[in-house]
Each structure stands twice: as structure tokens, then as C-alpha cells.
């Protein structure tokens, strides 16, 4: 096969992800096919000789499809690999429809309304994948999914949910600063092609310097429930490759153990020559922690980026 660096996980197929993941789950993005699965019951009662080969084929097809390690099959809306099985899945779907047309009128009307809803749902996602721009191929997450569903415009802030679970909306109270760094004391010899954002020095990452130092902040939660890390960023040229976008990282630590980590890919919000202040809002983890770490990683990108005015605040 073409992708020699990839393969199958026969003993641990990605069935749950392939069916239900918000990243690219078959039944999440094509819920109308639940009707075909329900139709196996009516097919068993109506056409038993047809039921067994159809069921066996469908189970084997799904097993093989989701055993592939790249189970989301690239930049598709839902599970494009499952489309090849639709000719066979048409049998249980047709069986369910045949059973449905013999039922009471209220049930037929309800079923028709459900089919119309599924049609609108799929058309809405198709629009977002091609023109609307709210479908983020290979990057969808549960918080982002529910925030954009059936909307045609959302605030730019919502794009943070592609990386992190939380965005804070509303007015902050009892704000207290626990760390500030203007990088004026930075003594690295790295030659940055970008001018400083503020003052004489900014932290600079690029092809030769991929990682920032880790800024460790001893801290114990006392009453407040949220933490916000803020920094200013300046780029020369936008990084379009999602997996090479500079990462703004916040970690909650207990000793040397990582309790929780939040990441923001900053190039989601930067264009060519842009300077912007960005922040991550983090809920305190339920597990105990004794410090917070902040770091930056250029994710193997060769594009330089300047970083300045790092601040960490806690609030309610």
C-alpha cells in the first residue's frame, strides 16, 4: 500500500474513536447512519438469509477500517472510508424504511422530521467544511464542536477551543498577579531577525532555538479558581502548518509530576507582520498542585517569533 510508514493495529482497533470521536467520528458527523444500524434488527426479521452476510461484511469492514492507525483518514468531514460500505448498509436502511411505512401516522411524521433534521445537520457541516470555515479538519474537539454547532459566525476567541478546553467569558474578579517577565534581562546570544516588542529585548524563537526556558512559579491555590497567562507575540511570516505553530504552554505541577497542561497555538491568531497580545485561561485542576510552569515551543518551525511581556494572574 502507499503509506509504508503507517499500518494496522489489529489487536487494538480504534473503534470508539472511529465511531464517536469529535475529531472525525463516523456517527458524530453522519448520525443518519444510525438508522442503517438500527435497520439490522428489521432486516433480521424480514430477510434473515440477507441479514448474516450483510452483518458480517459490515463488522469486518468497520474492524479493518478502524484498525488503521490514521483512523481519521486525513482531512475529511467524518469518516470518508465508511462511504465505500454504504452500498451494503443500504440493505438494513431500506429494511427499516419498509418497516416504517407500515407504522402509525404520528411515527411516520416523527421519522420524517428526524430525517429532515439529519439532512440539515449534514448540509450545515458540509457548508462549514467548504465555505463557512467553522469545520477545522483533523483538529475538531468536543468543546469547539458544541460551541460552533448550527452557528454561522462565532467570536475569534472560540478558536482557542481547538487547543484548550476552556475560554473564560465575563468579568474577572479578585485578579492577582503572581508572575511578570519583560525579558529585559534575557542574555541569550540568539540573533533575532525581529525587533523587540517592548524595550531592548524580547524572547525570540526560531529554527535554531526551538525552546524557551521553563518559567516556574511556586504557587498554591487559595480561593481563586482560574489562572490566566498572557504574552505578546510578533511574527514575520505566518506559519500555516498547524503542527508547526508555536505553542504557548501552561502546566500545573505537583513536584516533578505534571498534573495538567494547556496549550495554545499562537499562529491561529497571527498574520504576516502581526503583533498581538494573547492569553490562555485555565481552570485549576482538581488534583493538588504546588507550582505553575509556562514555556514556549516553536514546534520545529523555521519561522522566527518574538515573545514579550509574559504575565500570569489568578482570578475568580
Kindly list the structural domains of the chain, giving each domain's residue range(s) and its CATH number in brackets, ordered by start.
Answer: 15-154 (no CATH), 176-315 (2.60.120.260)
- Could you report the per-residue pLDDT of 235-260, keeping only the tens digit for each? 999 999 999 999 999 999 999 999 99
| pLDDT score of 185 | 84
Task: Say whether pLDDT at 265 is over 70.
Answer: yes
pLDDT for 2 equals 62
Q: Name, in order, each residue with C-beta under 8 angstroms of 33's C-beta and a sequence gap of 6 or more.
A: 26, 27, 82, 89
User: pLDDT tens digits for 27-52?
Assistant: 999 999 999 999 999 999 999 999 99
Q: How many CB atoms lie within 10 A of CB 177?
A: 11
3-state DSSP assignment of residue 311:
strand
**20: exposed, middle or buried (C-beta count within 10 Å: 0-12, 13-18, 19+)?**
exposed
Element at 135 (helix H, strand E): none
If you write DSSP's letter for every residue of 92-110 in order, what string do you get?
A: HHHHHHHHHTTS-HHHHHH
Residue 4 pLDDT level (bands cut at 50, 70, 90): low
Residue indicated by cell numbers 523555521: 302
The per-residue pLDDT for range 183-219, each reduced to its tens digit, is 998 766 457 899 999 998 999 999 999 999 999 999 8
Amino acid at each position: 500500500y502507499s503509506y509504508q510508514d503507517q499500518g494496522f493495529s489489529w489487536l487494538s482497533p480504534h473503534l470508539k474513536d472511529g465511531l464517536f470521536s469529535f475529531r472525525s467520528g463516523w456517527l458524530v458527523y453522519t448520525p443518519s447512519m444510525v438508522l442503517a444500524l438500527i435497520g439490522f434488527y428489521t432486516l433480521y426479521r424480514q430477510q434473515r438469509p440477507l441479514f448474516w452476510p450483510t452483518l458480517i461484511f459490515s463488522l469486518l469492514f468497520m474492524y479493518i477500517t478502524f484498525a488503521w492507525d490514521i483512523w481519521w483518514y486525513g482531512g475529511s468531514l467524518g469518516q470518508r472510508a465508511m462511504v465505500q460500505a454504504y452500498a451494503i448498509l443500504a440493505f438494513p436502511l431500506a429494511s427499516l424504511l419498509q418497516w416504517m411505512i407500515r407504522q402509525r401516522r404520528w411515527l411516520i411524521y416523527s421519522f420524517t422530521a428526524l430525517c429532515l433534521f439529519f439532512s440539515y445537520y449534514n448540509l450545515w457541516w458540509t457548508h462549514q467544511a467548504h465555505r463557512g470555515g467553522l469545520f477545522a479538519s483533523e483538529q475538531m474537539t468536543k468543546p469547539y464542536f458544541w460551541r460552533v454547532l448550527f452557528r454561522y459566525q462565532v467570536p475569534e476567541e472560540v478558536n482557542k477551543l481547538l487547543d484548550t478546553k476552556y475560554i473564560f467569558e465575563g468579568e474577572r474578579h479578585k485578579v492577582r498577579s503572581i508572575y511578570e517577565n519583560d525579558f529585559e534581562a534575557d542574555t541569550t546570544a540568539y540573533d533575532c531577525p525581529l525587533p523587540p516588542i517592548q524595550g531592548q529585548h524580547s524572547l525570540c524563537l526560531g529554527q535554531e532555538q526551538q525552546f524557551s526556558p521553563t518559567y516556574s512559579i511556586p504557587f498554591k491555590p487559595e480561593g481563586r479558581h482560574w489562572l490566566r497567562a498572557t504574552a505578546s507575540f510578533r511574527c514575520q511570516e505566518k506559519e500555516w502548518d498547524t503542527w508547526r505553530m508555536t505553542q504557548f504552554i501552561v502546566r500545573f505541577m505537583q513536584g516533578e509530576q505534571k498534573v495538567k497542561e494547556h496549550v495554545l497555538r499562537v499562529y491561529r491568531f497571527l498574520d504576516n507582520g502581526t503583533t498581538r497580545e494573547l492569553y490562555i485561561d485555565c481552570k485549576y485542576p482538581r488534583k493538588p498542585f504546588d507550582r505553575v510552569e509556562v514555556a514556549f515551543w516553536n514546534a520545529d518551525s523555521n519561522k522566527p517569533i518574538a515573545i514579550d511581556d509574559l504575565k500570569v494572574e489568578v482570578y475568580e
